[in-house]
A and B are shown apart, each in its own frame.
Chain A
Amino acid sequence: MTRPVRLLWLQSGGCGGCTLSLLGAQGPDLVSALELAGVEIVWHPSLSAASGREARARIEAVASGDEPLDIFCLEGSVMTGPDGTGLFHRMAGTDEAMMRVIERVALRADYVLAVGSCAAFGGITAAGGNEVGAVGLAYDGRQAGGLLGPDFRSGKGLPVINIAGCPIHPDWFTQTVQQIAAGVFDERDIDEWQRPLAYTGHLVHHGCARNEFYEFKASAENLCDMGCMMEHLGCKGTQARADCNIRAWNGSGSCLDGNYPCINCTAPGFEEPGHEFTQTPKISGIPVGLPTDMPKAWFVALASLSKAATPARLKDNAARDRMVTLPRDKARDAGGAKPGKGKQ
C-alpha cells in the first residue's frame, strides 16, 4: 500500500497571492487536483484546520524528521534581516526566526518547491534597497545561493524547483506536483533557473493576440491600445519565459489581453528592471531588450522593412482601444460570391 504524498506549505515574506491564484485552479479545482495526485496536505496556512499549537506540532514533526515529507513548498521570500537575524519574520507562536524553520524543513524534504518569484529569487520583497534582506531559497536575485546555498540538493537529489511568477498560474503548480507525485519529475524537467520547463519552454510572445501587430511593428502608444507594446510600453513578452498566452489566466485572460505589458515576472530580478515598467528603454530609437535569440542587425533590418509594409488596418488599430478597421474578405466585395454559378 502506498501512502499519500505529503505536502507542507509555509509562507514568509510575500503577499499570499500565489496561494490565492492557486485557489482559482480550474479543470479541476485545487482540492480535486491534489486528491487526484494522491497528495495529502500536512499543513497549509490558508486551508488547514490546525492552528497554533497543533500547527506548530505538525511543522515540528516534519522539521525534526519524525515524520516524512515528500514536498515542501515555500511561498514568499526568506527574510534574513535585520542584520542576518531573520527577525523581520518571527514565526508566530515561537521565538524562532522563520528562516530557521524554513531551513530545517527544507533539509528534510524529498522535493523543495519555491512557489512564486519571491521564494525563488527574492522577488518584489527584495525590491528597492532590500533593507529587509529578502532572498530566495536558492538564489538571491540572479546570484546562486539564497538561504540554502548553491549546492543544495533535496532528498531526491534535485535543486530547489523554482515555480517562478508573480503570481504563479495555478496550473504551473498543480501540474508540477502531479508530475512529482507520479514519480516523473527530474533534472530534465527544469530550465537554467530551475524553473519547470513545462511552462518556461515557451515565451510569453507565443500565442500573444497581438502577434500581427508585432510582425508589422504597429505599436501601441498608451496602456489600453491594441497594438504591440514592445516598442513603447515596456513589454518583455518576446523575452519572458512563460506560457501566459497559451494557457489562459482566469478563464480567458493574460496581462497582454488586459492591455498592459508583460513585466517578465518569472525572471530573477524582474522587480528592478532599471527603467519605468511601462516604458521601453531605447538607444537611438531601438529597444534595448530585443526578442530572444534575435541578432540586433536583423531586428533593425526586419523592423524597418515590416514597418514599411504595415497594412493600413493595423496602422488604424494599433493606437486604439478597440478595432476601428476590421479585416474583410475581398471576395465578398468583388462579387466573388455568385450564387447563380454554384454547383448543381
Chain B
Amino acid sequence: MAGQRSKWLWLLIVLLLPVYAQLHTGSWAQRAELRQSQSVGFLVPSQFSRVLACGYKGLLADYQFLRILTFFGDRSLNQQPPTAEDWDYFRDSIDVITDLDPWFYDPYVLTEGLLTWDAGRIEEANALLAKGVRYRTNDWRLPYYIGFNNFFFLKDHAAGAEYIMKAARLPGSPSYLPTLAARLAYYGGKSQTAVLFLKQMLAENSDERLARRLQLRLLALERAAQIEDALQCFRHDQQRDVVKLSELVSSGYLESLPEDPYGGRWGILKNGRVFSTSKFVEKKKTDVE
C-alpha cells in the first residue's frame, strides 16, 4: 500500500516537473523583458544605506558596483543608448558606492570611462573624482583624470595643469607626467591629447566591456589625430588651410582618408580639430529582423 502511494507521488513529481520548467523559463524571460524596459533601478540614498549595511559597507559597495556594471552592460549588449535618466542613476549610484567605501578605486575608473566620454557630464565626473582624491591621497591617477578632463573637455588649461602637476608629485606616478602637462597644453583640445590618455587608461583596465569601448574610441581618435597631423603639415607647406579633407589625399599628405570606426564622416572645426558626424557614439541597431 505504502509502495503504491510513493509510486503515485513519484508520478506526480514527474508530471509537475515540466510545468515547473515551463514556468521557470517564462519567469526568467519576463524578468529579462522587465529589466530591459526599466529605465532606471532603485537606489537607497547613502544616509540610509550606510545604516542598513549593518557593518557590511564594503560588501554593499561591491554589490552596488556589480549592479551598475550589469545595468550598463545590458544597455550596451542590447544596443540601447542610455537616457539622461540612466546617466542620473549612474552618477547617483557611483555617489552612493563611494560614500559607502570612498577608497574603492573601480567606481572612479568607471566614472572616467563613461560619464565623461559617453554622457558628456564632465563637471559631475570631476566632482565624483574629487571625492576620490580626498580619500586616496597617495593615488596619482585620480588627479590625473581630473587634469585630463579639464584639458580635453573643459579646455581649462590652468586647472588641468594644476591637477597633472599634483598627480606628478605623488608616489608611483610615471616620469613623463611633469612634461605631459606642457604637451597637453600645446595640443590643447586636439585628438592627440585623448590618444595619450586613452592608452594609459587601457593599460590600467581589466574589464573587457570597458576595454572594448575604449579601444574603439582609441582607434577613432588615432585616425582623427592622423588627419590632424596631415592638416598641420599641409598648413606648414602650403601656408593655407584645406577646403575639403579630400584635398589631403589628392595632394599626397594622406594615402587615403581613414574610415571612422563609428561609421561617421570626417569634418574640420575652425580650431583645426577634426570631428566626425558620428560624434564617436556607437549607432543603435535600427534593422529589426
Does A associate with B in a complex?
no
Q: Which residues does B use to contact A, with CB under 8 Å? A: none
